[in-house]
Amino acid sequence: MSKLVNLLEGLEYRCIQGNTSVEISSIENDSRNVTDGSLYFCIKGNVVDGHDFAAAAAEKGASIFVAEKMINVPDSATVLIVDDSRYAMACISAAYYGHPAKEMKVIGITGTKGKTTTTYMVKSILENSGYKVGLVGTIETIVGDKITPAKNTTPESIVLQKIFRDMADNGCDCVVMEVSSQALLLHRTAGFIFDIGIFTNIEPDHIGPGEHKDFNDYMRCKGLLFKQCRLGIFNCDDERWEQVAQGHTCDIETYGFSKKADFYAENVEMITKKGYLGISYNVKGKMNFTVEIDLPGEFSVYNSLTAIAICSHFGVLENDIKNALKYAKVKGRIEMIKVSDDFTLMIDYAHNAMSLESLLTTLKAYNPHRLVCLFGCGGNRAKSRRFEMGEVSGRLADLTIITSDNPRFEKPQDIIDDIKVGIGRTDGKYIEILDRKEAIAYAIHNGEPGDIIVLAGKGHEDYQEIEGKKYPMDERVIIEDILKY
C-alpha cells in the first residue's frame, strides 16, 4: 500500500474532493482492472475517453481518481484534477514503483529508422562486457530470461514503470529502449531522466489522424527526448539533426560518416560470401579500430556506429565490441536464413515504401544476379502504401513476387490488385501467388546462383491476421518445412 500524498511530489494538481492522505492498493488506467482501493487514471484516447468509465471504476472499488475534468463518482472518493492526466500518470507511476529508473542507466533511442536493430546491438555489446541489460522495443520486452511480445514500441508509462521495477529487481545495470515519437507526445516516458538519448535519423512518417499533424510536429516530438536526457548522441549526417536538437538541455556528441563527428566511419567495404552478406569499416574519432558485421548496407554501419558511440560511455573494450557486433542478430531485421550456398535469402520487416526502398537500394549495391522481392500489404490500411510499395519493388527488384500479408477484413486479391497498379507504373517483372507459403516455396525453389531474395513485410511477426483472427505463420518455420521436401 502507498499513500497518495507520497506520490504527488512535483506534480501540479487540485484536490477537489476527498484528501491526499488516503492509501492506494494499485494504480490502473483500465477500469476493468480496478479493485478495492485502486487509483484510476482517466485517460482521453483517440477512440474512447477514460473519464466516461470513472463511474464504472468506482463501482468496482476505485477510490482515487486522477482526471482532467469533473467526473461522476461518489462523494467519498478522492478526485485530483490535473492539466494532463497522461503526464500525471507517468509521474505517479514512477513514484509508485519507487523510481526504478534511478537504479539503472537508461538509454533511449529515437528516430524514424534503426531503433530496433541498434537496441539489440547495444544489448549484445554491453552483455558481452559483463553488464545485465534489459530491453524495451517494437518486437519484445526482455527482463532477464523473461521475454514478452510487445504491444507498442514504447509501452504506456504505467506499464513501463512496472517493467523498470522488474528490471531493477532482477539486477539489471541498464536498460536500452526504443522511444517512439508517439511515446514522447503522450508522455509515456515522463517521470524520469534518460542517461543517454540517441537520434538516428528522421523522414516523414506517422503523420495523420491520431498521430502527428505534420512533419514539424513529428520532429518536435522527437526532440523532446533531448530535454529529458543527460547526454544526447546525434547522427550528424542527417540534415535535420540540429533542428531536432533545438532547445536541448543535454550535452551533445555526434556520429556519422562526416569527419567532423565524434565517432565516424571510413573505408567501408561490402562483404559477399556463400549465402551471406556483410560489411566492414574503420571506426575513427573517439575510438579507433576495425569492425566487421554480418549485416549488409550503409544503414548497418550507422546502426553499429550508434551502438559503439553509446557503449563507449560504459568502458567497454574494443574486442568486446567487435565480438558482440559480429554475432548481433535481430529477428526480422535483415535476418539472413541459410537455405543455399548459391543464393542469399533474408527476412525483413520493411512494410512501407520508405523502408522497402532503403532495403532494396542497399542490396542492389551488392550486385546480385537477381534481386527478388516477395511482399504483400496489410488490409484496412491506406491504399497509397500498396501503390507506393508496388512502384518501389517494380523499379528496384528484378522480380517481384506479390503475395498476401495481413489481409485483415479485406480480400487478399483486392490488395494484390492494388499493388499491381503500382508495379504497372514501372517496367518491373512480377508474378502473383496469393498463398504466402506457396509464394515463399516458389522463391526458394526458383532461386538462381547469385540471387538475393527478400521476404519483406512480416519480419518478426509469427502470425497472419485474417478477418479478426490471428493464425500462426512464422516465415522461419515455413522455410524449414519447405526445405524438408
pLDDT bin (cut points 50, 70, 90) of residue 212 is low
Phi-psi region of 377 (alpha: psi -120 to 50; beta: other; left: phi over 0): beta
pLDDT over threshold 60, residue 430: yes
What is the C-alpha to C-alpha distance for residues 212 and 182, in angstroms, rounded to an integer?
Answer: 8
Helix, strand or coil, per DSSP, at residue 177: strand
What pLDDT does 112 receive? 84
User: What's the whole-number mean pLDDT along residues 434-455?
Assistant: 97
User: pLDDT digits over 289-344, tens only?
Assistant: 999 999 999 999 999 999 999 999 999 999 999 999 988 888 899 999 999 999 99
Ranges 104-108, 219-223, 353-357: which has the least confidence: 219-223
Q: What is the crossing angle of helices 298-311 and 115-128, to 10°? A: 50
User: What's the whole-number mean pLDDT along residues 204-229?
Assistant: 75
User: pLDDT digits over 48-72, tens only?
Assistant: 999 999 999 999 999 999 999 999 9
Alpha-carbon 110 to chain mean position = 9
* Nearest of 437, 382, 429, 453 to residue 405 by alpha carbon: 437
User: pLDDT digits over 353-404, tens only?
Assistant: 988 999 999 999 999 999 999 999 999 988 999 999 999 999 999 999 999 9
pLDDT bin (cut points 50, 70, 90) of residue 214 is low
pLDDT bin (cut points 50, 70, 90) of residue 151 is confident
pLDDT bin (cut points 50, 70, 90) of residue 217 is confident
What pLDDT does 209 receive? 55
pLDDT bin (cut points 50, 70, 90) of residue 210 is low
Q: Answer for the pair 288, 305: CB distance below 8 angstroms, yes or no.
A: no
What pLDDT does 213 receive? 63
CA atoms within 13 A on the CB side of 75: 0
Phi-psi region of 360 (alpha: psi -120 to 50; beta: other; left: phi over 0): alpha
DSSP H/E element including 268: strand 263-273
Q: Hey, what domains does the chain have and what are their CATH numbers?
A: 2-96 (3.40.1390.10), 100-327 (3.40.1190.10), 335-484 (3.90.190.20)
Give the three cell numbers for residue 302: 550507422
What pLDDT does 327 receive? 81
What pLDDT does 204 receive? 58
Give the three cell numbers for residue 101: 529508473
What pLDDT does 341 receive? 93
User: What's the whole-number mean pLDDT along residues 239-246?
Assistant: 93
pTM for the model = 0.90
pLDDT over threshold 60, residue 125: yes
Question: Which residue(s) pair with 344 in the sheet?
Answer: 452
